[in-house]
Structure 1
Amino acid sequence: MTTESLYPFLHAGATDAAALLADVARSTREKVAEIGRLREEVLDADAGALAACASEMADRFARGGRLYVFGNGGSSTDAMAVASLYVDPGPGRRPLPALALPCDVATLTALANDIGFEVVFARPLAAAGRPVDIAFGLSTSGGSANVLRGLATARERGLLTVGLAGYSGGAMAEAAERGEIDHLFVMPSVSVHRIQEAQTTVYQVLWELVQRALGST
């Protein structure tokens, strides 16, 4: 897929500013409508599952659990956003312990250099994860080997495992079918942009439900 196919208005050679702005507005409306439909589809399909997942997460937090969040690339940025949302939720909300594993650059690069990139999330979870904790892995493809390995390690140690994936869920969906991931939410789209936008909505909804389950500070 080329940039021309994604943004044809940038390659049309048009000098008419009004026409260019009209194309940009049309493209923006189409993308907003697309993500709106995807978010609605996911929330309609998974409303009950989201409530059940949030209830289990709230129970872990109430028993002193910590949330470990991880992903690669854009998903690592989302992992940091999730962790900060729980740690610093704002006035009237309960701060909860959470850690984004991609933020620990020293550990991540040491493991990647000395052993392999596939263990960069699994090793910290094996070292620090407790049965009362939560492992939260994000992958747009559902096939990120290190995310899968992190979730598998967490599952072996008794952590509650939560995953967000895109497309048809990939290997994460297969693992969930085998009972190896406790809660998996799939964004059924082939667009990485729409997948990540929908994942943002899902983890915001989970956070809101966890807060409601635990009550205010």
Structure 2
Amino acid sequence: MSSLFLRNLAEHQQLMAALHTLEPAVQSAGQQLARILDAGGKLFFCGNGGSAADSQHLASELTGRFIKDRRPLAGIALSTDSSALTCIGNDYAFDQVFARQLMALARAGDGLIAISTSGNSGNVLRAVEAAKTLGVFTLGLLGRDGGQLGQLCDEAIVVPHQVTARIQEAHILIGHTLCGLIESELGLD
């Protein structure tokens, strides 16, 4: 019997080998996100748990740097303001924590990267619905079959796997690729 590490590694390698089919969607999304930033827009990120951490990680790759020193890019993770999250969660509902922030901060022409391994997170769904009313482009970074978000987002990148950990591993690869594509499209690489 192989170790847990070797089983996880085999599962990871099998998924990574299948991700080439997502290349057109990743390329298209990277170009769209670069256009938003080039026009002076902002990119917002949201997700729960590990996807919240991924949101923070990817936003920081934009405001800080990804590969090379370059000008900062507008990336904002909606999961980082504990006062806003607890205020909105308490006064309204947890499924409004991202939508209300987005309604306050986003403008037409901005972008929202909605990260959900199930594609069915209520607060992420509400954020995408709010984004649509504002004229904000929505990109779903999803797993499994894409869930409800797969149909709701303007574009969706769906990692076809059932295991949350493997989906999250793929999301970081895809997120890093999006950051690289943004830098390349903007001539910042």
Deviation digits for residues 88-118 of structure 1, max 9, x if unmatched? 1153344211111110111111000000001
The answer to whether the aligner puts 1:186 opposite 2:158 as a matched pair is yes
Percent identity over paired residues: 35
- Please give the TM-score of this superposition, normalised by the length of structure 2: 0.93
Structure 2 CA distance for aligned equivalents of residues 117 and 191 of structure 1:
25
CA contact (8 A) 1:39 1:201 kept: no
CA pair 30-172 structure 1, distance change in 2 beyond 3 A:
same
Q: Which residue of 2 aligns with 1:123?
A: 100
What is the CA-CA distance between 1:141 and the residue it aligns to?
A: 0.9
- Please give the TM-score of this superposition, normalised by the length of structure 1: 0.82
Structure 2 CA distance for aligned equivalents of residues 56 and 164 of structure 1:
14
Aligned pairs for 1:1-217 within 5 A = 23-24=2-3, 27-42=4-19, 44-90=20-66, 91-175=68-152, 181-216=153-188
Number of matched residues? 188
5+ residue gaps, structure 1: 1-8, 10-22, 176-180
CA contact (8 A) 1:160 1:182 kept: yes
Amino acid at match of 2:184: R
What is the CA-CA distance between 1:51 and the residue it aligns to?
A: 1.2
Amino acid at match of 1:149: R
Structure 2 CA distance for aligned equivalents of residues 32 and 87 of structure 1:
32
Q: Based on CA coordinates, which of the two structures has the bigger radius of gyration?
A: 1
**CA RMSD for the aligned pairs?**
1.6
